[in-house]
Structure 1
Amino acid sequence: MPGIQVFLPKSQVVDGRDKPGHDERNRAMTGEICHHFMREGRLNCWISNDSLVPKTPKDRTEKSAHTGRRKTMIAHRSISFSGMALAASLLAAQHANAQELIFGSWTPAREYQNAQVMPDLFKTIEKETNGQIKWKLVPGGQLADGKTTFTAVKDGLIQGGLAVPTYVPNTVPALFIIYSTVIVGHNDVIATSAAAMETVYFNCPDCLDEVRKLNAVPLGGWTTPAYVLACREPVKSLADLKGKRVRATGGNAEMFKLAGAVPVGATLVEAVSLLQRGGLDCQHGIADWLRTFGYADFAKYVTDAPLGITGPAIGMFLNRDTWNKFTPEQKRLHMKQAAWMSAKMMIGNFIISEEQGLQTVIKDKGVQMIKPDADFEKVTSEYKKGERARNIEVGKNFGLKDPGAIIDAYEKNVEKWRKLSGTVGRDIDKLADLLDKEIYSKVDLSKL
Structure 2
Amino acid sequence: MINKQKTVQNLIAAGLLSTALATTAATASQLRHATGYAPGSMGAEATNNYADALRDISGGTVTGKVFALSLLNWAEMSDGIRDGITDSGTVLFSYFPSTFPVNSMLAELSMVAQLGDVGSEQMGPAYAGALSEYIFLHCPQCLTEFENQNQIFTGIGATSPYWLLCNEPVASLEQIKGKRLRAAGANWSRWAQELGATPVTMSHNDVYEGLSQGVLDCTMMSTPELTLINLMEVTTDITTGVPGGLFAGLAVSNVNKNTWAGLDQQQKESVMRAGASFSADISWLYQMTHDKNMATARASDRITVHEPAADLVEATQNFIRTDSAKIGETYRENHNIEGAPEMVEQFIEILNRWQAKVEGIESQEELAQLYWDEIFSKVDVSSYGQ
| Pairwise same-fold verdict (TM > 0.5) | yes
Once the 2 structures are TM-superposed, how far is the Cα of residue 143 of structure 1 from its aligned partner? 3.6
CA offsets per residue over residues 186-206 of structure 1, 9 Å max, x none?
Answer: 333233221111111122221
Q: Tell me by how many angstroms 1:132 deviates.
A: 4.4
Show CA shifts across 1:225-250 (max 9, x none). Answer: 32111123332223332331322204
Q: Is the contact made by 1:151 and 1:214 (CA closer than 8 Å) also made in structure 2?
A: yes
Between the two structures, name the one with larger relative contact order (CA 8 Å, sep ≥ 6): 2
Equivalent position of 1:432 in the other structure? 368
Change in CA separation of 1:268 and 1:120 when aligned onto 2, cut-off 3 Å:
same
Residue 109 to residue 293, structure 1, CA distance change in 2 (3 Å): farther
Q: CA deviation at 1:392?
A: 1.8
How far residue 158 of structure 1 moved from its aligned partner, in angstroms, is 2.8
SS in 2 for 1:233: coil
Partner residue of 1:195?
Answer: 130
Cα distance change, pair 267–129 in 1 and its aligned pair in 2 (3 A): farther
Alpha carbons of 1:232 and 1:137: their partners in 2 closer, same or farther (altered >3 Å)? farther
Match of 1:15 in 2: none
Distance 1:421 1:427, change over 3 A: same
Whether the aligned pair in 1 keeps the contact of 2:57 and 2:274 (CA below 8 Å) is no
Whichever residue aligns with residue 205 of structure 1, its letter is: P
Give the structure 2 partner of residue 256 of structure 1: 192
Cα deviation for residue 314 of structure 1 reads 1.3
Question: Helix, strand or coil: the match of 2:361?
Answer: coil
The aligned residue for residue 36 of structure 2 is 106
The reply on whether 1:123 has 2:52 as its aligned counterpart is yes
| Residues 326-345 of structure 1: pairs in structure 2 closer than 5 A | 326-345=263-282
TM-score, normalising length from structure 1?
Answer: 0.70
Q: Which residue of 1 aligns with 2:150?
A: 215
Indicate whether 1:204 and 2:134 are aligned. Answer: no
Q: Which residue of 2 aligns with 1:166?
A: 94
- In the superposition, relative to structure 1, how do residues 237 and 128 fare at CA in structure 2: closer, same or farther (>3 Å)? closer
Unmatched 5+ stretches in structure 1:
1-96
Residues 127/385 of structure 1: CA separation in 2 closer, same or farther (3 Å cut):
closer
Gaps of 5+ in 2: 1-26
Q: Contact (CA 8 Å) 1:108, 1:293: kept in 2 or not?
A: no
Q: Distance in 2 between matches of 1:295 and 1:175?
A: 30
The aligned residue for residue 356 of structure 2 is: 419
* 1:150 matched to 2:78: yes
Question: Hey, what does 1:367 align to over in structure 2?
Answer: 303
Do the aligned partners of 2:160 and 2:222 also contact (CA within 8 Å) in 1?
yes
Q: Deviations over 1:365-403 (max 9, x none)?
A: 943323433322145223223223421232111120111
Identify if the C-alpha distance between structure 1 residues 203 and 264 changes in structure 2 by more than 3 Å, giving closer, same or farther: farther
The offset of 1:131, in angstroms, is 4.2
> Are 1:242 and 2:181 an aligned pair?
no
Structure 1 distance, partners of 2:214, 2:133, is 40
- Match for 2:276: what amino acid? A
- How far did 1:312 drift? 4.2
Shift, 1:276, TM fit? 5.4
Q: Is the Cα–Cα contact under 8 Å of residues 329 and 341 in structure 2 kept in the other structure?
A: no
413-422 or 125-134: which moved more? 125-134
Instruction: Say which of 231, 236, 244 aligns to 1:308.
Output: 244
Cα offsets for 1:91-135 (capped at 9, x unmatched): xxxxxx8744332222333432322x2223212322444544332
Task: Provide the rounded CA distance (Å) in 1 between the counterparts of 2:211 and 2:33.
Answer: 28
Cα distance in 1 for residues equivalent to 2:203 and 2:153 = 21
Among candidates 161, 166, 169, match of residue 231 of structure 1:
166
Mapped to 1, the partners of 2:215 and 2:261 lie a distance apart of 44
Aligned mates of 2:241, 2:374 — CA distance in 1? 32
User: 1:364: Cα distance to partner?
Assistant: 7.2
Relative distance call for 1:370 and 1:417 in structure 2 (3 A) is: closer
1:137 to 2:66 alignment: yes
Aligned-pair distance for 1:265? 4.5
C-alpha distance 242-333 of structure 1, shift in aligned 2 (>3 A): same
Q: Distance in 2 between matches of 1:121 and 1:238?
A: 43
CA 294–198 in structure 1, closer or farther in 2 if over 3 Å, else same: same
Q: Greater shift after overlay, 363-372 or 313-322? A: 363-372
8 Å CA contact retained: 1:290, 1:361:
no
Which amino acid in the other structure matches residue 156 of structure 2?
A: G
Amino acid of the structure 2 residue aligned with 1:328: Q
Q: Provide the secondary structure at the position in 2 that maps to 1:404.
A: helix
Alpha-carbon separation, structure 2, partners of 1:138 and 1:264:
32
- The answer to whether the 8 A contact 1:236-1:372 is kept is yes
C-alpha separation in 1, matches of 2:214 and 2:87: 36
Between 121-130 and 249-258, the greater mean CA deviation after superposition: 121-130
Pairing 1:385–2:314 present: no
424-433 vs 210-219, greater mean Cα deviation:
424-433
Give the aligned CA root-mean-square deviation in angstroms: 2.6
Q: Is the contact between residue 297 and residue 305 of structure 2 (CA under 8 Å) also seen in structure 1?
A: no
Tell me how far apart the structure 2 counterparts of residues 121 and 380 of structure 1 sit (CA, whole Å).
37
CA contact under 8 A between 1:184 and 1:380: conserved in structure 2?
no
Tell me the matched-pair count: 348
Report the structure number with the largest CA radius of gyration. 1
Query: What amino acid maps onto 2:39 in structure 1?
Result: A
Code of the aligned partner of 1:151: D
> In the alignment, residue 103 of structure 1 is paired with which amino acid?
H
How many Å separate the matches in 2 of 1:245 and 1:437?
40
Secondary structure at the counterpart of residue 387 of structure 1: helix
State the SS of the aligned residue for 1:180. Answer: helix
Q: Report the counterpart of residue 346 of structure 2 in structure 1.
A: 409
